[in-house]
Chain A
Amino acid sequence: MVSSGHFERVAELFAAAVDLPADQRTSYLSQRCGDDAELRREVEELIVLDERAPLQKRIGALDDQLGQLAVGVTSHADALPPGAQIGGYRILGELGRGGMGIVYRAEQAQPRRTVALKLIRSVLDDRLLRRFEQEAEVLGLLHHPGIAQIFEASTARTHDQSAPFFAMELVEGEVLTEFATRRSLDINDRVRLLVAIGDALQHAHQKGVIHRDLKPANVLVTREGQPKILDFGVARATDADLRGATLQTDAWQILGTLAYMSPEQVRGEPKGIDTRSDVYALGVVAYELLTGELPYEVGGSLPEAARVITEREPVRLGNRSRLFRGDLETIIGKALQKDRRMRYASASEFVADLQRFLHHEPIEARNPSTIYQLEKFARRHRGLVTGLLIAVLILVGAVIGMTHLMLRAVDAEQAATQLAREEETQRRDAERSRDIAAAVNEFLHRMLGAPDPWQENELARHDVTVAAVLDSAATELDDGFDELDDVQAEIRTTLGATYLGIGEFRKAVEQLARAHELQQELHGERSKKAAVVLRSLIEATVKAGDLDRAEELSRELVPLHAEVMGPGAEETLLARFARLEVMFAHNALDDAAAFARETLDVAEEARGSDDELTVRARGDLGLVLLNLGQLDEAEALQREALAACRARYEDPHPHTLAVLNSLTGTLWRKGRAAEAEEVARELVAGRTELLGPGHAQTLNALNGLIVFLNSRRAYDESDRLRAEQLTAARVNLGDEHPLTLSFRHNAANTLWRRRRLDQAEAECTAVVAARLRVLPAGHEQILLSQELLGLIQRDQGRPAEAEATLRQAAETARQSMAKDHWLPPWLDVQLARCLADLKRYDEAKALLVAAEAALREKFGAENSRTRSARRALGHLRRRQSK
């Protein structure tokens, strides 16, 4: 450790020498330092750093960092302390915060009562103040049990400024949606709440007051079950002309409010806003109250959110749950029409239909005709829907045909006299089956088998019975269809592709493996048919999480394709993508990068630089480079690929989403968290729309978003998303699917960060055990879970246990990882921290010195892990010196 005497000498020499001309400085220093070369070197180093002034140059960035932190810190700091006096009110405490200001519980002197006081966070000039007071008078006219009464709207003079405020009836209640959830209300109870809210809305509309900001947070329900709408007209009295008040709030808050805004409000048509805008908002509230979700994901940037609201059709209520199919879906759908002329003309009409629903009477609202809807759907999905229906019908038809055939075969045996005729029939039927099967393939492959989840999952989303159809088809095949091997192979391939599309990976592997065997028998191992099925089989195997098997299967895949179909053929490029996927899943990144570059070269050479497959190759290379930490090149490639995708496809498209997926990772790694979050929201929205909310890829995208939200401590949203994600993953993928385990690992990680150590430890222990079962020994993810477990144990005050856990992980890592992999030294850093806790300083120091050197070698001195190792060393030295 440097002594302060030494430091003083350095400082003194620095001060004396720093401003001398270079030649004088040299002679001055050699005179003063004598033969103390170390001292001289140190002073000279500092002088260089004074010239370059790297820290000085970062002051701006540092100020920004501190500013950001201050925003985080103070978002919970108090503004007005209890006892403060505003107008005739004394502040008792804070109730909550909203976009426009803080709401306090306050006591009014005359008449003596407790009120909610909303202090508007804005400074008004005189003209606006008059306007505010005029509006306030109108608000006083509202008297309804469903509306929180406004007692006074006024301004308090504080210092030289006017602070406008509202004094309102203090409603002791729960936010609408929370009330419904906690009391586990059934659908009818929820609809009754909506009726009561609609009644209150109608009362206000009759007095000429529009709410403009209706959302669940603005509706509290009392213990007696009476909903009360808060903040009536507040938006009008303040927001409309005081945009500043809105703009200064957190952008996320705006987005939160935006979700309930009608398209005309979003478009900012001040004259276009009328009572029907409130009808729309009530429709969104109804939708959320019933389903727990918003009609569309409103995320990302404000312009993006605005586009969604003004253009995108809401997810139909019936698609959230079958319970809502029928009248309720029609009623809410009518309230949510983009064109307000198509909505209910008033809140009372909306309420009337809700009441008809409750009384099982025919409703007034009419569904737009089925053909109109089909048209709309088909327009968006380019005729897919018709083809899909036909395909399903034919698949069902083929199954029926097969069954029919087998029954007749049995008949044939029993009716020996008709043998000849039956044989003839059988042959004809067999030919027919073959034709049918070809037709099935042609259709289903086009619909489902293409490397395009967009199409596969139309099926999953729109007809859940498809899974049942597939299962029965598979059973029929298993029960005996062996005479027609080629047809069977085709159908199994189709079934496999379809299972893949609906996320039934293991069943997909089963069917495709059988198909592959059959094709090999029929056409030979090095045939086109066998090659193509093999590729699907590998894709399914990777998705099913069986990486070793996938590796084994995929080694020969590309040479095989190149041999059979030529190196630049579309099929060969697809084989390359499949192989790359396997390498990537195995984390063989250097090999993957070389292979991805080669693939991009092949694609550009064979198909030109704008081809769909070339674009995909570019995106894939970007993803690999991202994982190798080559971020600038990765981003450049991803931006290029994204531009090409956006130009080529309508949003959202699977290829565009794949690029967004890797782009969000790059941005995050580059520290551009806000951009990364924005991209992640687009990704989640896109995948939800294309694949459905429970699809593995949607859940994976959600994972990124959750990480970003956690990083800025937006736990309300991230907790909600995490719970949804874990439930969906367990149901759809299984408790121990590698992806489910990744999500659970992350959940444990978050619990640890938030110091919920017991929960974190329980979850992490389970994840370690499961990963040991399902992943190959020594897999990076096992080690990362063990690292986390060690950190949790250490924080639980059990350094010895932590040491054992981390030591085991470090030893395994050393055995199973490549020689210069970062994990062994990194685990050593964590291990050394435990050793330091155990006062085994010398061991800790030896480990840290070696680990720091290894990390520096691997990542450079500036890398966060290297710095972390250095910091641990610093801490260690200080502890040792005590």
Chain B
Amino acid sequence: MTRSADGPRASEQHAEALLPAAYAELRRRAEDYLRRERADHTLQPTALVHEAYAKLAASVRGEFRDRTHFVASSARAMREILVDHARARHAQKRGGDATQVTLHDAATPAADGVDLLELHDALARLSVLDARKARMVELRFFGGLTIEEIARELGVSHMTVSNDWRMAQAWLSRELGLGK
């Protein structure tokens, strides 16, 4: 597992220990995603996931006040899992002369998407410059928390999060070469 240039923060100290919990949370996100993808059928969030969450959350060190706290604590682990996975997938897609005549450049990311690996790199740079903003973006993107939830977790005002968020958004947009 790769560790980013910036050091782990106090709440992320247990990133390794939190891996299982992060997986459980990722599963929830995956199911949310699948539910959105296939709007044609109703699928109840499974009992199993809740059970897994309860068990895993209890099995790792530290007590979690609630789901937000739990997600915030495991967001770094989730980011690393996701980025590793994206890296593997990206590697799959890149280069090679696939089908001899038709498929030799296959690296194009989805038209309206974001290059996750670039985002990850840019975020690492941002955290050197302004750790709080970077952490916020991490919680927003990789933890899937709302601005309110982030404010509560970081113990700052809604306004602060909102202002930080705007600056971070603009800065990252520039770093990622978006909006030109």
Contacts and interface: CB of A to CB of B under 8 A. Distances in A.
Interface in A509-525: none
Interface stretch (B7-15, B65-73, B103-111): B103-111
A65 B110 contact: yes
B114 A65 contact: yes
Interface in B21-59: 23-24, 26-27, 29-30, 32-34, 36-38, 41-44, 46-52, 55-56, 59
A704 interface: yes
A247 B88 CA distance: 28
Contact of A50 (B49, B113, B118, B169): B169
Interface string A25-57: 000000000000000000001111110111110
Q: Is the interface of A mostly helix, strand, loop or mixed?
A: helix
Q: Is the interface of B mostly helix, strand, loop or mixed?
A: helix
B29 A65 contact: no
B102 A627 contact: yes
A746 B96 contact: yes
B81 interface: yes
Contact of B104 (A80, A623, A784): A784
24 contacts: A2-B129, A4-B128, A7-B129, A15-B167, A46-B167, A46-B170, A52-B173, A53-B179, A58-B178, A66-B82, A66-B141, A67-B33, A74-B26, A77-B23, A77-B26, A78-B23, A123-B44, A244-B41, A665-B102, A712-B89, A746-B97, A864-B107, A864-B108, A874-B125
B110 A707 contact: no
A47 B29 contact: no
Q: Which 4 A-B pairs have the closest CB atoms?
A: A67-B33, A54-B179, A665-B102, A54-B178
A681 B55 CA distance: 42
Contact of B110 (A4, A61, A703, A780): A61
B32 to A, nearest CB: 7
Interface in A733-775: 738-739, 742, 745-746, 749, 753
Interface string A62-84: 11111111111111011111001
A171 to B, nearest CB: 24
B130 interface: yes
B163 interface: yes
B85 interface: yes
Max count, chain B CB within 10 A of own CB: residue among A63, A65, A244, A664: A65
A253 B21 CA distance: 27
Contact of B169 (A55, A739, A864): A55
A498 interface: no
Given A70-B82, A77-B24, A700-B100, A669 B106 contact: yes
A388 B80 CA distance: 62
Contact of A703 (B94, B99, B121): B99
Given A80-B52, A247-B38, A627-B102, A4 B130 contact: yes
Contacts of A626: 102
A861 B179 CA distance: 12
Interface residues of A, number: 100
A11 B167 contact: yes
Contacts of B59: 81
Contacts of B170: 14, 46-47, 49-50, 53
Interface residues of B, number: 85
Given A50-B166, A55-B178, A58-B113, A73 B26 contact: yes
A829 to B, nearest CB: 11
Contacts of B48: 79-80, 102, 119, 121, 163
B93 interface: yes
A314 to B, nearest CB: 28
A879 to B, nearest CB: 10
Interface string A655-683: 00000011011001111000000000000
A584 interface: yes
B117 A871 contact: yes
Contacts of B111: 670-671
Nearest to A123: B44
A62 B94 contact: no
B172 interface: yes
Interface in A221-246: 243-244
B105 A629 contact: yes
A11 B134 CA distance: 13
Nearest to B29: A70
A25 B128 CA distance: 29
A190 interface: no
A867 interface: yes
Nearest to A71: B30
A161 interface: yes
A341 interface: no
A781 B97 contact: yes
Interface in A828-882: 861-862, 864-865, 867-868, 870-871, 874-875, 878
Contacts of A742: 97, 99-100
Max count, chain A CB within 10 A of own CB: residue among B37, B88, B173: B173
